[in-house]
Structure 1
Amino acid sequence: MVFTETLLLLAADGEPPGLLPARQQMAFSLGWHIVLACFGVAFPTIIFVVHRRGIVRDDSVALGLAQRWAKVSAVLFAIGAVSGTVLSFEMGLLWPGLMGRFGDVLGLPFAFEGLSFFVEAIFLGIYLYGWGRMPPRRHLLTLIPMGIAGIVGTFCVVSVNAWMNHPAGFRIENGEVVDINPWRAMFNSGVWLQFAHMWVAAFMVVGLAVSGVYAFGMLRGRVDSHHRLGFTVPFAFASVAAIVQPLLGHVLGMRIHDTQPAKLAAFELAQTTEGPAPLRLGGVLIDGEVHWALTIPRLGSIIARNSLDAPVPGLDGVPRSEWPPVNITHLAFQSMVGIGTLLAAVAVVFWLARWRGHDLLANRWFLRLSVITGPLAVLAVESGWVATEVGRQPWTVWKVLTTADAASQSSGL
């Protein structure tokens, strides 16, 4: 059923010829770029902490790590610059119905994102060149504008996506977009929560990806101060993020209950509105019936509304033409939540072990688990974006512009 839904999503009858290639190209480009964007957000902060440790404690190991990570950051930044440039062209070429109609609404965050990109590039260059040429503390401070620029750029991009979920800053009058307020569009009602969710996710991805490299090294016998510090600092960031992230996701889920009930119904595989609502683990929707799901009574109401009895909206309250691809959305959402729960459990074990004085880095099973947490974190982020984007279908701008109308009408793509 998931495969069938995918085919229907990509090639429905009567849709413009540009929709299929637009979806394919945008999914590939965004799926790749989001991982690189995570490094732009989180890596400068992690490098700052290690570099500061090196200066304050006169720790050559920490300084060596900071210098090595800076080179890695530069390579990833260069690749991200290319993939981001591709995306900027794709927005206009593949989605002229969106950018042609709402370009004035969305122009401000895109402009700030471009400015942030240049600021980050400039200070990354200064930081790389400054090794051995600048006073140590001034050199360290060049990481601050890098980190701020990465955060601001991410906020601007997330604000555009949040606007698609919570459109604001304009009115439609006689089919025309009027009374445009780009500031209100940028600071829409959903931006802060969605940005927080993405910002924390970035630290999970980067922290676990970097620490996994050093965990693999320790499994190969390289148990030295370089590998131990290279593991501990990024993993500490990631583990805190992994504990915070489920709480943010819960709050975001409650907001989706109020603003996008069809998406929540697809998340929960809820055919009918019911209260108290169960939580369904696994399962697929086939011919109007849910199969192979493990049902936990009342937990759906608790997650959606913090109540044992609150009703959770079902797909029966949504016109059939406005249903998202239910099985894809459900699978992506549960993949994100399941992986997130596992990563949070690993984080709790890590902090409990440190509190009790246990050295988990001497435990090979923990190191093996740490190696796979990086790819799992990437999969969780990708699944989350699939859930939120596919769950919004058939709309590009919620209740304003359909994805079919946003796509190019050209058959040459």
Structure 2
Amino acid sequence: MNDFLAARSQMAISLGFHIIYSCIGMVMPMFMAVSHYKWIKTGDHVYKNITQAWSKGVAIFFATGAVSGTILSFELGLLWPKFMEHAGPIFGMPFSLEGVAFFVEAIALGFFLYGWNRFNKWFHWFTGVLVGVSGVVSGILVVSANSWMNSPSGFDYINGQYTNIDPIKAMFNSSWFSEALHMTLAAFMATGFAVAGIHALMIARKRNINFHTKAFKIAIVFGAIAAILQPFSGDISAKNAAKKQPAKLAAMESYFHTQPYSPLVVGGIPDTAAKRVKYGIEIPGLLSFLVNDNFKQPVNALDKIPVQNQPPIAVTHIAFEIMIAIGSVMMLIGILYFIALWKKRSWLNKRWFLNLFILSTPFGFIAVEAGWTVTEVGRQPWIIQGVMRTSEAVTPMPGIHYSFYLFTVVYFTLSVAVIFLLSRQIKMVPKLYNH
């Protein structure tokens, strides 16, 4: 493994694990705040028990998210020094503000965890809300920095120099809203379904049914709403990619030849040598309609992109199809849940219905990983779209593959520890809160 591939692989591993920790860390406090509010309003101690149980999970993921996020910040400087040298002054503001949001979240979490029976009940609840809000803001700020890499703005690039730097314009670049919306909804969808799936499993096993039923309802409402809204944010993101990153959109669709009535390809395996998609289903005109709001106007395909500027097509396309397929399934399950609430309440206690949520427990995070693969692989060969290639930003320091091996072991060990702590917490629920 050469150093360039090792550096990219290390970032991929780091981001792949961190995104799960951060999604849960930014969304779970919202669930916790809703449960806490219900306890204050109703006096039902089951909601207090849910809040306290979830707060332990929040603490676990806050710690792991802080560790993995800190590692990432060091990796940016150590693995990609040329990138940070040029980009740091331009998009440093969202990272700085994210640091502020992180500190607010840490302080608020400390107040919340140790504030039981010490603070006014509404102030205590507010500290929990602040944990959630600052976590979501933190996530949006990080995505803003990433969106700048996809749609660089806020500077002039003249003769290899960055001038007229405007950090506000860089932070609120043309892609930040669509990416922030899509990622925030993805976090709520993934975490909502994952938490609901765990509680559905406990309900199916008839363990502390009242506790888990109430917890399931809070989590799945967030997850289902996010899943239903996600296709609309995906449409906004795809339209933006068509304008700012046409090579990425073409790779997502494995769209090789520019033509009127540009087809949308469903599934299939790209054959880059033959420049076609095997086993896929083409829907004529649909890609034109989704991008241009009419069925005839052609969308630029890969034949309009120089080969040296094209991303890895197969990886981008397959990851995109996985994301779309899983997102569609989760949207349908979310719709089924609201149908059950509205018309078919008997479904709520059926084993087949619970099994839908149990089986979908990991779906959201698989879709999140696939989506980030599309975002990062689809931007290649650029680290800053159209400005700096990834190969130009990598460190000249040798031996990066050893670092990659080490950090891979660290992340897998950290994940095993997290799984152990969470499983122990879930097993302790009946003992602690069965009253």
Please, what TM-score do these two structures have when normalized by structure 2? 0.89
Report the Cα distance in structure 2 between the residues aligned to 1:290 and 1:71, rounded to whole angstroms. Answer: 48
Match of residue 7 from structure 1: none
Report the Cα distance in structure 1 between the residues aligned to 2:241 and 2:59, rounded to whole angstroms. Answer: 37
Q: CA offset at residue 291 of structure 1? A: 1.5
Could you say what secondary structure the match of 1:374 adopts?
A: coil
Q: CA offset at residue 82 of structure 1? A: 0.6
Could you say what secondary structure the match of 1:142 adopts?
A: helix
Could you say what secondary structure the match of 1:29 adopts?
A: helix
Could you say what secondary structure the match of 2:265 adopts?
A: strand
Written as runs of structure 1 = structure 2, the 5 A alignment for 1:13-412 is 17-222=2-207, 224-286=209-271, 287=273, 288-412=275-399
Q: Deviations over 1:361-387 (max 9, x none)?
A: 311112112012221100001100101
Q: Deviations over 1:202-225 (max 9, x none)?
A: 111111111111111112122621
Q: Deviations over 1:59-83 (max 9, x none)?
A: 1001110011011100110111110
Answer yes or no: is the 8 Å Cα contact 2:145–2:171 preserved in 1.
yes
Q: Deviations over 1:251-279 (max 9, x none)?
A: 11111111111111111111111121222
Answer yes or no: is the 8 Å Cα contact 1:112–1:156 preserved in 2.
yes
Amino acid at match of 1:45: M
Q: Deviations over 1:101-156 (max 9, x none)?
A: 12111221111111111110111011000112222112111122212211221121
Could you say what secondary structure the match of 1:169 adopts?
A: coil
Amino acid at match of 2:29: P
In structure 1, runs of 5+ residues without a counterpart are 1-10, 12-16
Report the Cα distance in structure 2 between the residues aligned to 1:159 and 1:387, rounded to whole angstroms. Answer: 17
Q: How many residues align?
A: 398
Report the Cα distance in structure 1 between the residues aligned to 2:141 and 2:215, rounded to whole angstroms. Answer: 31
Report the Cα distance in structure 2 between the residues aligned to 1:335 and 1:226, rounded to whole angstroms. Answer: 34
Answer yes or no: is the 8 Å Cα contact 2:28–2:58 preserved in 1.
yes
Answer yes or no: is the 8 Å Cα contact 1:170–1:180 preserved in 2.
yes
Match of residue 5 from structure 1: none
Answer yes or no: is the 8 Å Cα contact 1:123–1:142 preserved in 2.
yes
Could you say what secondary structure the match of 2:6 adopts?
A: helix
Report the Cα distance in structure 1 between the residues aligned to 2:51 and 2:229, rounded to whole angstroms. Answer: 26
Answer yes or no: is the 8 Å Cα contact 1:127–1:142 preserved in 2.
yes
Report the Cα distance in structure 1 between the residues aligned to 2:112 and 2:169, rounded to whole angstroms. Answer: 35
Report the Cα distance in structure 1 between the residues aligned to 2:253 and 2:291, rounded to whole angstroms. Answer: 10
Report the Cα distance in structure 2 between the residues aligned to 1:125 and 1:360, rounded to whole angstroms. Answer: 40
Bigger CA drift: 316-325 or 295-304? Answer: 295-304
Report the Cα distance in structure 1 between the residues aligned to 2:276 and 2:122, rounded to whole angstroms. Answer: 63
Cα root mean square deviation, aligned: 1.3
Q: Deviations over 1:142-176 (max 9, x none)?
A: 12221221122112111111100110111122212
In structure 2, runs of 5+ residues without a counterpart are 401-435
Report the Cα distance in structure 1 between the residues aligned to 2:5 and 2:300, rounded to whole angstroms. Answer: 30
Could you say what secondary structure the match of 1:167 adopts?
A: coil
Q: CA offset at residue 244 of structure 1? A: 0.3
Bigger CA drift: 187-196 or 172-181? Answer: 172-181
Identity across the alignment (%)? 41
Match of residue 425 from structure 2: none
Which runs of 4 or more aligned residues in structure 1 lie more than 4 Å from their structure 2 counterparts after TM superposition?
A: none
Report the Cα distance in structure 1 between the residues aligned to 2:309 and 2:189, rounded to whole angstroms. Answer: 34
Answer yes or no: is the 8 Å Cα contact 1:280–1:295 preserved in 2.
yes
Please, what TM-score do these two structures have when normalized by structure 1? 0.94
Match of residue 424 from structure 2: none
Report the Cα distance in structure 2 between the residues aligned to 1:180 and 1:67, rounded to whole angstroms. Answer: 46
Q: Deviations over 1:181-216 (max 9, x none)?
A: 111111111111110111111111111111111111
